[in-house]
Amino acid sequence: MFQFGKLHGKDVKMPIHGLPTTLLCLALWPLWSLLMPALCHPDHSPCRLGLPDNIEDLHLNHNHIQTLQDDSLSRYISLRTLSCADNRLETVGSKLFHNSPHLESLNLAANKLHVGYQQTSLALLTLSRLRVLDLSENQLTDNMASVLLQNMTSLEYLNLSRNLLLRLDESSFGDLHQLRELDLQRNMLFEIDASFDHLHKLQRLNLAFNYLPCLVDFHMTQLVVLNASHNSIEWFIANQDRQEVFKLETLDLTDNNLLFFPFLPTHSRLRNLHLSQNRVSFYEHLADTAAYPNWTTSVQFYNLRGNMSNVTAKLWDESLHGDISSLDLLDLSGNQVGYFPQGFISKMPSLARLRMRTNCLEVLNLTLEKLPGLLYELDVSNNMLTELHADQGSLRKLGNLSYLNLSQNDLQSLPAQLFSSLTSISSVDISYNRVGICPLEEGGVGMGGGGGCNLGRLPSSAFVGTPLTHLELSNNPELIIGTRSILPASLLHLELRLLDLRDNRLTTVPSAQANVLAPKLHTLFLNGNTFNCCQLDWYRTFERAKTVTIMDLSDISCQDLTKRTHRVMLVDSLICGGIEVEYPQSVWQAVLAASLDVRVELWSAERPWRKVQRNQNTTVNPGSVLVKVPLRKAVSSPSSTCAFTV
């Protein structure tokens, strides 16, 4: 298959279609020199390769060839593919291909054809069966390209990327009536007036990384893929008068200057719409004349050439969006969307992936928006969300939703049974929020907000009934689940594979939960918590499991009772006197509080680091926490124990 170029500006390479697999690659200079007679240099000498006459595919890439003379290929009448990319090629003999009637694919990329383009054009005129031509990266200008492409009536795939093209018109590709795929990325194009009108078979067009200011009167009904990403496009306006169904399936307008959602064809099959990294917003609110009495309610589109009538349109006219009923992917990441126009989402019943990362959303109401039941991925991360509303009916309709990203917002509460109602959910990211979930018994969060929610607390039933395998709970420092629990009990019954608990206030992972998680988890993140050095049984449990990879293990630290910090993986149990006691999390937090009044009583020890067992005769004041830790020898005394009184 021809790779027209991955979306979002990736480079593309020209293909070889349906050609024999017998390839002879002369990519290295030593190999080339072995084929040459003595004192023969390919830059200057009319050398013969001495290859079998019936060779079909010849690759001479990455050599130092400057010229291909008339008789260089005269013996190889069966040649179908010739690749001479990345050489120093300046020209080819005008009769080079006279004995190559079967040549179908020619790759001359990354050379210096701008030097002798006129003679090279004479050679190309004889290739009546050529289907694939790569002239990329040859410093070709508009006029040079036009000369080289004269009478190329059989050409189907053309690569002119990485040249010096500035302007194209109807004469640029005048003879390319069979052209199906055209790559013009990474030139300096700022005008393409009517240059593709006669290319009725063109299906894939790559205009990425140029300087196009707009695409208006788009009427290429036969086009399937259009990549116009990384330009300066402010307007995309399709011809609204066309009644034919546009075959366009993928439109990539990533990284442009769009202010408005594109004005798409009235009838289309569009499945993938990439609009990330623009300035798109919706303006339906401007229709409220009471709120905005001085705002205009319409916009005029002027055609400066005067050969097309001007258009005046209402800013909130839903019909301007065109036909989006077939959309599978809508990517609006990195724009300025503050809300969706009424009924906008419902016009996309086939939508499976909605990406709204880095916008201006403050409230998301899943009930009012009527998200389609086919939705598989929803990403609203890095917005300004403070509220997320949904009733049980709308959640049940999202039975296909598997990926949900709510991270980097300001959410403090989520609807009751949010996750348990999403029966296919497998990955949830609620990191970098102040999130809590209403306990099950308090009922759902309706249209009015998060009334009754215990903010910052996850109930044990938060994820009951969900098929989660990936969970992000990082950077929720206000998160509270329970005094002896880091996770809701409902999660312990799931087949969780990835768990991210970075940057919270965890002091331990209770042994019971570590034992349940260890056989299931594959990936675990825990850095950024203040772990208790005397409660590290969880670390040894995960270490013994072998199947768990703690990705940030080398960065995870803990504190002892003197507030000294240690690397978890280097902690010796002697720091805690050779014993570990699993205290309630709230108790350990109290011990670490900065305002503690600590009284230390020292008894001498024979050795500074010997293990000390519990002393049954030690007395502690009421309300105190007694922790025995061995200390470095400070005074001459027979034994050493610290009694910390809180």
Over 482-500, what HEC string results? ECCECCCHHHHHCCCCEEE
Q: How confident is the model at residue 303 (pLDDT cuts 50, 70, 90)?
A: low
- Determine the pLDDT at residue 38: 31
DSSP 8-state symbol, 564: -
**DSSP letters for 70-135:** TTTTTT-TT--EEE--SS---EE-TTTTTT-TT--EEE--SS-TTSSHHHHHHHHTT-TT--EEE-
- Nearest-angstrom CA–CA distance, 176 and 132: 12
Residues 326, 269 contacting (CB under 8 angstroms): yes
* pLDDT tens string 86-123: 999 999 999 999 999 999 999 999 999 999 999 999 99
Q: Which range has the top average pLDDT, 211-225, 384-398, 553-567?
A: 211-225
In the structure encoding, which two tokens stand for residue 616, read together?
């049954």
In the structure encoding, which two tokens stand for residue 420, read together?
């348990």
Is the confidence at residue 568, as pLDDT, over 50?
Answer: yes
The answer to whether residue 282 is domain-embedded is yes
The answer to whether residue 392 is domain-embedded is no
- Determine the pLDDT at residue 33: 37
- Own/partner pairs for 560-567, CB < 8 Å, 24+ apart? 560/533, 560/534, 560/629, 561/534, 561/591, 561/627, 561/629, 561/642, 561/644, 562/629, 563/592, 566/533
- Determine the pLDDT at residue 485: 57
Quick count: other Cβ atoms within 10 Å of Cβ 39? 6
- Nearest-angstrom CA–CA distance, 460 and 442: 13
Is the confidence at residue 202, as pLDDT, over 80?
Answer: yes
Could you tell me which residues come within 8 angstroms of residue 367 by beta carbon, excluding any fewer than 6 positions away?
A: 389, 390, 391, 393, 394, 447
Please calculate the CA angle 334-412-531 and round it to the nearest 5 degrees: 100
Q: Which range has the top average pLDDT, 25-39, 195-209, 413-427?
A: 195-209
- Nearest-angstrom CA–CA distance, 330 and 26: 45
Q: How confident is the model at residue 255 (pLDDT cuts 50, 70, 90)?
A: very high
Is the confidence at residue 277, as pLDDT, over 70?
Answer: yes
Is the confidence at residue 150, as pLDDT, over 70?
Answer: yes
The answer to whether residue 138 is domain-embedded is no
Tally of domains within the chain = 1
- Determine the pLDDT at residue 503: 87
Q: How confident is the model at residue 135 (pLDDT cuts 50, 70, 90)?
A: very high
- Determine the pLDDT at residue 593: 39
- Which of residues 457 and 204 earns the better pLDDT score? 204
- Determine the pLDDT at residue 436: 56
- Determine the pLDDT at residue 300: 64
Please calculate the CA angle 22-24-27 and round it to the nearest 5 degrees: 145
The answer to whether residue 621 is domain-embedded is no
**DSSP letters for 305-357:** TSSS--EEEETT-GGGG---TT-SEEE-TTS----PPTTTGGG-TT--EEE--
Is the confidence at residue 438, as pLDDT, over 80?
Answer: no
* pLDDT tens string 604-617: 333 333 333 333 33
The answer to whether residue 234 is domain-embedded is yes
Is the confidence at residue 476, as pLDDT, over 80?
Answer: no
Lowest mean pLDDT among 38-47, 217-226, 544-553, 631-640: 631-640
- Which of residues 530 and 246 earns the better pLDDT score? 246
Query: How large is the average pLDDT for residues 530-546?
Result: 90
Domain of 274: which CATH number? 3.80.10
pTM: 0.73
Is the confidence at residue 265, as pLDDT, over 60?
Answer: yes
Residue 377 phi, psi dihedral angles, 5° rounding:
-130, 130
- Which of residues 450 and 72 earns the better pLDDT score? 72
* pLDDT tens string 518-535: 999 999 999 999 899 988
Is the confidence at residue 472, as pLDDT, over 90?
Answer: no
Question: What is the residue type of 65?
Answer: I
- Determine the pLDDT at residue 278: 98
Please calculate the CA angle 272-276-279 and round it to the nearest 5 degrees: 130
Can you tell me which residue has the tokens 């009934």?
A: 465
- Determine the pLDDT at residue 47: 54
Bridge pairing between strands 403-405 and 470-472: unpaired
The answer to whether residue 134 is domain-embedded is no
Residues 528, 515 contacting (CB under 8 angstroms): no
- Nearest-angstrom CA–CA distance, 39 and 199: 49
- Determine the pLDDT at residue 530: 87
Q: Which range has the top average pLDDT, 51-55, 163-167, 417-421, 560-564?
A: 163-167
- Nearest-angstrom CA–CA distance, 90 and 72: 15
Query: How large is the average pLDDT for residues 622-642?
Result: 32
* pLDDT tens string 350-378: 999 999 999 999 999 998 888 999 999 99
Lowest mean pLDDT among 116-125, 166-175, 400-409, 572-581: 572-581
Question: What is the residue type of 287?
Answer: A
Is the confidence at residue 416, as pLDDT, over 50?
Answer: yes
- Which of residues 216 and 415 earns the better pLDDT score? 216
Bridge pairing between strands 377-379 and 363-365: unpaired
What is the chain's mean pLDDT, rounded?
78
The answer to whether residue 290 is domain-embedded is yes
**What's the start-to-end Cα distance of the chain, in Å?**
73
The answer to whether residue 304 is domain-embedded is yes
Its domain, for residue 245, covers: 212-358
Query: How large a percentage of the chain has pLDDT more than 70?
Result: 68
Lowest mean pLDDT among 99-113, 382-396, 483-497, 564-578: 483-497
- Which of residues 461 and 329 earns the better pLDDT score? 329
- Nearest-angstrom CA–CA distance, 9 and 230: 7
Q: How confident is the model at residue 311 (pLDDT cuts 50, 70, 90)?
A: low
Helix (H) or strand (E) holding 545: helix 537-545
Residues 584, 484 contacting (CB under 8 angstroms): yes
- Determine the pLDDT at residue 299: 63
Is the confidence at residue 428, as pLDDT, over 80?
Answer: yes
